[in-house]
Structure 1
Amino acid sequence: MKKVVRKSLSMLLAGAVCFGGLTACSPSSKEASGTEAKGQEASKEGQVEITFATSWVGVSSSKEWFHNRLEAFNKEYGSEIKVNVEEIAGDQAYVDKMKVLYSSDALPDVIAAGGYNLIDTMQDKFVDLTPYIDEEWKNSIDEKCWEVNSRDGKIYGAPISKQVIGYFYNKDLFKKAGIEKPASTWEEFFQNCDKLKAAGITPLSMDTADSGWVTSLMLGAIVGQTEEGEKFMNTSLPKDYNQEYFVNAVSDIQKMFNEYTSTDAIGGAYENAAGNFFTEQTAIIANGPWMVGDFYDTDKAEEGFADKIGVAAFPGDVMYDAGKIGFNVAAKTEEKRKAAATFVKFMTNEDSQKANVEITGEIPCLKKEVDSKVYPLVQETIHLANTAKRHINDFQSLWFANVVDEVSVEYPLLAQNKITAEEFAKKLTEAAQKNQ
């Protein structure tokens, strides 16, 4: 999942070092720089050491939250468990590194891939967490969050948040173009894009790199507007994309590339799409509530930018509202597995989830309602999800990893009209069917 960090308080990451054959580092050094930490503490007698790789560094909006919770974990469990942290900046870089470590049978004891589904490609190396999850832990979390982390009745991931996503729009730019409210149908959506374009405003933030996160959210929402499409978007590991509703959605994405987005969308990553929205070069971006904090960050947008932003469900009253892949454990010894389970349980408990929504805007996956202070746009996103007609899951959580990779290959070709929507669907199908 793509996120950008907002301005935060300085935090210390006590007791964290790097692992996996890389040079040691600390949060006070440059992330993923290979700089050796000074004053690094040796493990104490009786401590169990576990390794954890994270992308919650650099510009990640979860950086502050992770530092906060690791510091709290160290205070409570530091005498028993030492967490050695490897920092890998960037979601895609993280996933790519995990693939390499998987191939060499060198996965860290705990990983958290930010919503990417690694369970179906790495299940043979992941620990079935079912025996380590007590009733209190199991019953505290929404069942649909456990479902997306489970395979054949076994739990391979511990959820920390839900995937709740609509799209953000600039109210001032809408007003300038004569648009009174967000579209209720995709036909009206494209009409609004035409109005924005006529007013000299680029309608949409889009991207193609790193699975084209922003673009693919639009694609999934278009697919999910019908009952059949909604079912497809909630299907785990689909192998056939040669469906009329999917091809039609890809055609709409091609139209968006050709008529309604910025020139840097082709080849651009999420950061390009977000930057265009922050600087009011575009009027609309699909993304989750973790982005809301950035609207108040004057390093990214002008003072008062947040007041200009509204949030909407996708046309057809579609919202992403589903469980998300959480923490996975790949520890090889029982001692490390128990320590890893203790760490993961702490990182997903009520306090951690409350801190997560307050700091990052991530939606908790707890059964009980969390009493937390969040931005109004986050509250509105939750309301839209609760009242939406159709609820879908995102592609990163459900599609085969090689299909997600294929999306980045095919989007630029689609955007440049070098392939058709039918050929795009065929390429994804061919990639999916390579999996057993």
Structure 2
Amino acid sequence: MKKKIISVLLSSVMAMSVLAGCGGSGDAEKEEPKTEDTAKENGGDEGKTESSGDTLVYWSMWESTEPQGQVIQEAVNAYTEETGVKVDLQFKGRTGNREALQPALDGGTQIDIFDEDIDRVNTMYAKYLLDLEDLAKEADYESTANPTLMAACRDAGGGTLKTIPYQPNVFAFFYNKALFEKAGIEKEPTTWDEFLDVCQKLKDAGITPMTMDDAYATSVVGYHLARLVGEEKVVEIVTEGKWDDPAVLEMAKDIEELASKGYYSEMVGSNVWPAGQNTELATGTAAMYLNGSWLPNEVKGMTGPDFEWGCFAYPELENGANGIETNNIGAQVFGINKDTKMAKEAFDLIAYITKGDYDKKLADESIGIPSDTTNSEWPEMVSCAKPVIEQTTARFTWAAGVETNVDITPVLKENFIKLMAGTIKADEFVSAMQSAAK
């Protein structure tokens, strides 16, 4: 079964990351149209650089105009000035990287370093990656790195460290502190019963407890199911069509209860991203939204400087497979080409960017989360997510694996939105998914 799951995951990873925000840029995972200027910036026709053995070639997923791109360029310049190592930094953008990286690596183009989303690199580009265990040990790299993300990089590398994470993110409930205070809520919920109590207090205070957009609806399904039975079982359900599993009905009944009690926004059935986050959460008409730590940056133009953010992990479920120590955390990662002639220099540059001053500046400029754990002062807007990150000792992948079957995802999204909107019941949701899987 593992081979089947891996096969489906590889075929779906291109689709699943489009909706995932990334590290605070606000649109880091959205595909962007190519233009003539972009093509020139990305290195002309093929972006091919012949290997000289004395210049590091770094393909970056960012645009040069983005905060991440600007800080990385500054770090590269400083690294070159300090060490004398030349770096050919090529900003490809998301589209350029995803379309050109694999063919370039297959064709032998010199690319010493590249970066991308953790799940994309760890699945699509694993065969190109250099073993980094000795380099990390020599540099004592892990003494200040996030242990959960480093473990995720090892898991994807078959137990060996082959990527280095940066720009961490977490998917959790983000909320409006002022509305919680208005409703008399003094404690963030950690269990499902506590979560239901929070929802009721908000409703009693005349506040819509939560909203959702179509782009992230399946993440609710994945999180809830994974809390019940774990991510491996979630992947089994969606890839093998086991929608008759009792956990599916249990999840659907829990969501039906939220809908029947009026805890979802009246607009939840028609919200097309970013309607819910922009017109309801950011404006203060809804209190909570399950989303990524890139959210505060995305809506800062609407919330204004006085908006106080809160954050808590998806609540534990009774007799569930895991608790609030397991969360969907992610990151961008750096990989080093196994064919590089400059492995030590490449690792040193990665450490230069992901540690110390430039890691802090990268977080500050992009309103993201530092990867260096000694950078304890986070940007104010995302500091609420710090307890969730720090308590996380195990990781769900994107949407906790529920989107690994790309053929079933559209049907899942359509019917789950109906369930949240209260237009179908839990048993109807299960029947619809069973029919779709036949």
Q: State the TM-score, normalizing by the size of structure 2.
A: 0.66
Q: How far 1:404 sits from its partner (Å)?
A: 6.9
**Contact 2:163-2:333 within 8 A present in 1 as well:** yes
Partner residue in 2 for 1:281: 285
Partner residue in 1 for 2:430: 422
One-letter code aligned to 2:57:
I
One-letter code aligned to 1:173:
L
User: Which consecutive unaligned segments of at least 5 residues does structure 1 have?
Assistant: 8-17, 27-33, 37-41, 431-436
Q: How far 1:343 sits from its partner (Å)?
A: 3.7
Cα displacement string for residues 92-141 of structure 1 (whole angstroms, at most 9, x for unaligned residues):
x68xx626754784797644334434422432344444465452244333
One-letter code aligned to 2:77:
N
One-letter code aligned to 1:2:
G
Partner residue in 2 for 1:11: none
Partner residue in 1 for 2:415: 413
Partner residue in 1 for 2:152: 148
Distance 1:187 1:194 in 2: 11
Partner residue in 1 for 2:315: 315
State, as a whole percentage, how many aligned pairs show the same letter.
Answer: 18
Distance 2:173 2:136 in 1: 35
Q: 1:399 aligns with which of 394, 398, 401?
A: 401
Cα displacement string for residues 11-34 of structure 1 (whole angstroms, at most 9, x for unaligned residues):
xxxxxxx999962138xxxxxxx9
Partner residue in 2 for 1:157: 163
Distance 1:192 1:400 in 2: 27
**Contact 2:169-2:294 within 8 A present in 1 as well:** no
From the superposition, tell whether residues 336 and 426 of structure 1 become closer, same or farther in structure 2 (CA, over 3 Å). farther
**Contact 1:358-1:373 within 8 A present in 2 as well:** no
Distance 1:392 1:404 in 2: 25
Cα displacement string for residues 264-292 of structure 1 (whole angstroms, at most 9, x for unaligned residues):
66562357535531122321023444544
**Contact 1:161-1:363 within 8 A present in 2 as well:** yes
Partner residue in 1 for 2:39: 23
Q: Is it true that 1:351 corresponds to 2:357 in the alignment?
A: yes
From the superposition, tell whether residues 400 and 281 of structure 1 become closer, same or farther in structure 2 (CA, over 3 Å). closer
Q: How far 1:86 sits from its partner (Å)?
A: 1.0
Distance 1:20 1:112 in 2: 23
**Contact 1:220-1:395 within 8 A present in 2 as well:** no
Q: How far 1:149 sits from its partner (Å)?
A: 0.9
From the superposition, tell whether residues 201 and 68 of structure 1 become closer, same or farther in structure 2 (CA, over 3 Å). same
How do 1:366-405 and structure 2 match up within 5 A? 366=372, 369-375=373-379, 378-384=382-388, 386=390, 392-396=394-398, 399=401, 402-403=404-405
Helix, strand or coil for the counterpart of 1:154? coil
Partner residue in 2 for 1:48: 55
Distance 1:172 1:382 in 2: 19
Q: 1:168 aligns with which of 157, 168, 174?
A: 174
Q: How far 1:83 sits from its partner (Å)?
A: 0.8
One-letter code aligned to 1:72:
A
Q: How far 1:396 sits from its partner (Å)?
A: 1.5
Cα displacement string for residues 60-109 of structure 1 (whole angstroms, at most 9, x for unaligned residues):
xxx42441232121232275111111123xxxx68xx6267547847976
Partner residue in 1 for 2:98: 98
From the superposition, tell whether residues 394 and 139 of structure 1 become closer, same or farther in structure 2 (CA, over 3 Å). closer
Cα displacement string for residues 275-316 of structure 1 (whole angstroms, at most 9, x for unaligned residues):
531122321023444544567x4x22234223xx33334433
Cα displacement string for residues 316-364 of structure 1 (whole angstroms, at most 9, x for unaligned residues):
3725557645424374742376665444333223334333444445444
Partner residue in 2 for 1:204: 210
Q: Is it true that 1:239 corresponds to 2:236 in the alignment?
A: yes
**Contact 1:149-1:155 within 8 A present in 2 as well:** yes
**Contact 2:362-2:370 within 8 A present in 1 as well:** yes
Helix, strand or coil for the counterpart of 2:415? helix
**Contact 2:55-2:87 within 8 A present in 1 as well:** yes
**Contact 1:110-1:329 within 8 A present in 2 as well:** yes
Q: How far 1:144 sits from its partner (Å)?
A: 3.3
Q: 1:186 aligns with which of 185, 188, 192?
A: 192
Equivalences, count: 381
Q: How far 1:172 sits from its partner (Å)?
A: 3.4
One-letter code aligned to 1:284:
M
**Contact 1:53-1:111 within 8 A present in 2 as well:** yes
In terms of fraction of residues, the more helix-rich structure is 2
Q: 1:261 aligns with which of 262, 265, 278?
A: 265
- The answer to which structure, 1 or 2, has the higher relative contact order (CA under 8 A, 6+ apart) is 2
Q: How far 1:251 sits from its partner (Å)?
A: 4.4
Deviates more, 1:44-53 or 1:68-77: 44-53
From the superposition, tell whether residues 401 and 348 of structure 1 become closer, same or farther in structure 2 (CA, over 3 Å). farther
From the superposition, tell whether residues 222 and 413 of structure 1 become closer, same or farther in structure 2 (CA, over 3 Å). closer
How do 1:284-363 and structure 2 match up within 5 A? 284-292=288-296, 297=300, 299-306=301-308, 309-316=309-316, 318=324, 320=326, 324=330, 326-329=332-335, 331=337, 333-335=339-341, 340-360=346-366, 362-363=368-369
Q: How far 1:403 sits from its partner (Å)?
A: 3.6
Q: State the TM-score, normalizing by the size of structure 1.
A: 0.66
One-letter code aligned to 1:350:
G
Q: How far 1:425 sits from its partner (Å)?
A: 6.9
Deviates more, 1:279-288 or 1:340-349: 340-349
One-letter code aligned to 1:393:
R
**Contact 1:219-1:253 within 8 A present in 2 as well:** no
Distance 2:435 2:72 in 1: 42
From the superposition, tell whether residues 310 and 57 of structure 1 become closer, same or farther in structure 2 (CA, over 3 Å). farther
